[in-house]
Amino acid sequence: MASSTAPSASQDAPASQPVAVVCVGMAGSGKTTFMQQINAHLHGKKEPPYVINLDPAVLHSPFESNIDIRDSVNYKEVMKQYNLGPNGGILTSLNLFATKIDQVLNLLEKRTAPDPANPARKPITNILVDTPGQIEVFVWSASGTILLESLASSFPTVIAYIIDTPRTSSTSTFMSNMLYACSILYKTKLPMILVFNKTDIKDASFAKEWMTDYDAFQAALQEDENRNAFGGTEGGDGGANGSGYMGSLLNSMSLMLEEFYAHLSVVGVSSLYGTGIDEFFEAVKVKAEEFKRDYEPELEKRREMREENKKKEREKELEKMMKGMSMGEESATPLTVGDIKDGDDDDAMDTLSPDEDDEDDDEDDEMDEPAARKGLQSRYEAALGETEDTTTQEASFVKYLHSQR
């Protein structure tokens, strides 16, 4: 937790759990410069962060990383070997790296835990994660999800979405950026801070106003329409008022996004000059608290649900398998685990044969049932290495099937 930095730097392990800050943003938004600035800021406060670079394609990084994807995966080699383009290369490199996530987490946990041999060592308060500029490759890939979910399962995790402020100053680019941020929020389900970068070129107050004051956005929209900023070719009247379609689309979207804005922290920074960085870390503190309060229980619930679904899936498969063993039987009563009684090996093969005559099948099943049951039971018993009484025989069958999975 960011609030427990200097004073609790002693031995209080759970209170000083570090916060993971994952920086995402469109190419050129200033992600790397921002990472460099917050890294320098923490070093200046004598709270060096733990830095992870997940961009396999970066040629030169202006800061040192503790874990660097480039140390384990050679992006160029991946492209060559798998005959991939740049985006495919990044995706495959991330996939390969995701297979090592256990090792990454082990390292992180070891490094962020208090060191009994060196109790004076300051605990790590932040884990900074840089991601590829190809934002969609990270956010929408399975490996991106694995990496983020694994991180969030061990540490409070916050997404910092970096926005190029000067390039977001028209209502349409602003809305496109907000929609993208919205999709990331709902995909990752992690608390998010909108970082309006490059405020030395353009102040971010307009964006903050648009997010909190519907009328202000309406006025800006009207202004853009009057300037014909939407081009007037997308179905509008094409005249001085620009595209009516675009204007009304942005209008309705701004209404829809009100709920989304309520979940965000917004800060304006200049990564070049280091302004707004304190404000950013204040927001990190708030979002880390939010993570613990709202997101962690939700994550736990999702994890339990996944486990529950897996269990159900296993049971369903088991039932399917048992039904498969009794295929060809016209019996109306569905078979449960306890009802599986028919067929030794040969009979089981017969029932699965498509050329089988159904009537014969029924007869055979009836005739062969006791013998088949005996055959199967003796095999289960042999597999379990023990003879059980009749009341536990059905349970043995379940155990046997489970042991074969």
Binding-site size for ligand GTP (CB under 6 A) equals 16
Q: How far is CA 3 from CA 41, 278, 315, 356, 394, in A?
A: 16, 13, 46, 73, 57
Which of 270, 326, 351, 377 binds ligand GTP (CB under 6 A)? It is 270
Nearer Cβ to ligand GTP, position 17 or 131? 131
Could you say which DSSP state residue 165 is in?
G
> Is 32 an interacting residue with respect to ligand GTP (CB under 6 A)?
yes
Q: Does 243 bind ligand GTP (CB under 6 A)?
A: no
Nearer to ligand GTP, 133 or 328 (CB): 133
* Near ligand GTP by CB under 6 A: residue from 30, 89, 123, 268: 30
Give the alpha-carbon dihedral of 45, 46, 52, 56, to 10 degrees.
80
Tokens standing for residue 394: 């059905």
Question: Does residue 268 belong to the site contacting ligand GTP (CB under 6 A)?
Answer: no
Q: How far is the CB of 206 from ligand GTP (least distance, A)?
A: 17
40 is a contact residue toward ligand GTP (CB under 6 A): no
**Closer residue to ligand GTP (CB): 55 or 364:** 55
Taking residue 230's Cβ as centre, other Cβ atoms within 10 Å add up to 23
Chain center to CA of 350: 47
Buried b (16+ CB within 10 A) or exposed e, 68-94: bbbeebebeebbeeeebeeeebbbbbb
| Minimum CB distance to ligand GTP smaller for 70 or for 198 | 198
Sign of CA dihedral 291, 296, 301, 306: positive
CB 96 within 8 A of CB 70: no
Could you identify the residue written with the tokens 């929020």?
185
Cβ nearer to ligand GTP, comparing 200 with 369: 200
Distances (CA, A) of 361 to 86, 326, 357, 376: 59, 10, 6, 18
Q: Which is nearer to ligand GTP, 198 or 285 (CB)?
A: 198
Give me the least distance between CB of 257 and ligand GTP, in Å please. 24
d(CA 22, CA 131): 7
- ∠ Cα 378 382 384 (to 5°): 120
Of 26-34, 117-125, 177-185, 208-216, which segment contacts ligand GTP by CB under 6 A? 26-34
Is 272 a binding residue for ligand GTP by CB under 6 A? The answer is: yes
- For the chain, report the end-to-end CA distance as a whole number of angstroms: 42
DSSP secondary structure letters along 4-19? GSSTT-SS-TGGGPPE
In whole angstroms, the minimum distance from the beta carbon of 128 to ligand GTP comes to: 13
| Footprint of ligand GTP on 321-380 (CB under 6 A) | none
Tell me how far, at minimum, the Cβ of 273 lies from ligand GTP, in Å: 7
Choose the binding region for ligand GTP from 92-100, 105-113, 151-159, 266-274 (rule: CB under 6 A): 266-274
Contact status, residue 160 vs residue 23, Cβ threshold 8 Å? yes
Place of tokens 């009563």: 333
Name the residue with the smallest CB distance to ligand GTP. Answer: 133
Task: Determine, following the binding rule CB under 6 A, whether residue 201 of this chain makes contact with ligand GTP.
Answer: yes
Residue 131 contacts ligand GTP per CB under 6 A: no
| Residue selected from 136, 149, 200, 289 as contacting ligand GTP according to rule CB under 6 A | 200
Residues 6+ apart with CB under 8 A from 110: none
One residue of 271, 326, 351, 377 binding ligand GTP per CB under 6 A: 271
Question: Shortest gap between Cβ of 56 and ligand GTP (angstroms)?
Answer: 12
Using CA atoms in the order 350, 355, 357, 363, what is the torsion angle rounded to 10 degrees?
0
CB of 57 to ligand GTP, least distance (A): 9
Is there binding between residue 191 and ligand GTP (CB under 6 A)?
no
Among 27, 305, 367, 371, binds ligand GTP (CB under 6 A): 27
- Of the pair 86, 231, the CB lying nearest ligand GTP is at 86
33 binds ligand GTP (CB under 6 A): yes
CB distance 192 to 158 below 8 Å: yes
- For residue 190 the two structure tokens come to 């992690």
> Which residues of the shown chain bind ligand GTP in the complex (CB under 6 A)?
25, 27-33, 133, 197-198, 200-201, 270-272
